Amino acid sequence: MKSRYRIWLNTIAVIALLQLASRAFGQTCLTIQSGLIKAENGNTVTLGFDQWGYNYQAHIYEGLYANFPRPSTPYTEETCGAAGYGELGCTQLQMKWSDSWLSNKSCDGDTTIDRHFGFTGYRGSGAWLTNHFVGSYTQDGDLIHWTDFVKVIAAPLSAYRCSEASCDTFDSNLGFDYYGEGKYFTSNTLQTEIGPVIWGDFAVIQEVWNDPGMGLHGILFHSPANPGLGYWGNQP
């Protein structure tokens, strides 16, 4: 199960498929409705859910984990096992994100969707992403159903990243360091933890993981600073 869990950390790659862009103030914006916004591969971004499961207008993805990277031919429930992700490829995934994570407009003069509006990077932008996995696997002849819900935020500019060994995220119940990038704190006094570092500039502020096969039930991590997504949009 460790390998299954670790693979989801690559989910952010989905958002990288639309070229990085920062929106400039005071410029005319293209909308998805205009039919002029393009994906990196040149395809027009359309309203509603596309063949992979993305609805960029509504800031949501619903589909198979195997389809989040937008393969040239979308996988089905019959073919998802061949995607290279093992059993995780056939897991149902729902992602939701804020406008500052990935907008549904292009206001910077190009034709790709903008990110972190008004900011040079994600840090301090208040951007957030949620991942919700629903899957199953067989263990000792029994069918095990599992779910995993994760909240991720862009770390505030004022946050302090601790990479010392004392700031690892080793979990004795899991038997491994489940993030491996250290922790963010509200300051260098290390008194109040925001959450484990993930993808460099981001922090996990809550994870709820239910997996009877691993003995996991309920909250795996809950930010001591604040587990609310909206709270971090107001932090410098």
Token pair in block for residue 210:
């239910």
What mean pLDDT is predicted for residues 184-200? Answer: 94
Largest Cα–Cα distance in the chain? 61
Tell how many helices (H) and how many strands (E) occur in the chain. 2, 14
Residue 193 or 9, more confident: 193
pLDDT digits (tens, 9 = 90+) for 168-184: 777 666 666 667 789 99
Q: Which amino acid is at 64?
A: L
pLDDT digits (tens, 9 = 90+) for 17-28: 443 333 444 568
Is 144 within 8 Å of 211 (Cβ atoms)?
yes
CA 169 to chain CA mean position, Å = 18
pLDDT digits (tens, 9 = 90+) for 122-137: 999 999 999 999 999 9
The C-alpha atoms of residue 149 and residue 162 are separated, in whole angstroms, by 24
Question: Alpha-carbon dihedral of residues 55, 58, 59, 65, nearest 10 degrees?
Answer: -40
* % pLDDT > 70, the chain: 84
Alpha helices in 114-218 (DSSP H): none
- Residue 35, sorted as left (phi over 0), alpha (psi -120 to 50) or beta, turns out to be left
Residue ranges per domain, the chain? 2-234
What mean pLDDT is predicted for residues 205-222? Answer: 92
> Which phi and psi (to 5°) does residue 145 adopt?
-100, 135
Is 114 within 8 Å of 25 (Cβ atoms)?
no
Q: If pLDDT is split at 50, 70 and 90, which confidence band does 8 have?
A: low
pLDDT digits (tens, 9 = 90+) for 86-97: 889 999 999 999
Q: What pLDDT, on a 0 to 100 scale, did the predictor assign at position 235?
A: 67
Q: What pLDDT, on a 0 to 100 scale, did the predictor assign at position 9?
A: 58
The C-alpha atoms of residue 80 and residue 64 are separated, in whole angstroms, by 8
Segment among 5-9, 37-41, 111-115, 148-152 with least mean pLDDT: 5-9
- What rounded mean pLDDT belongs to the chain? 85
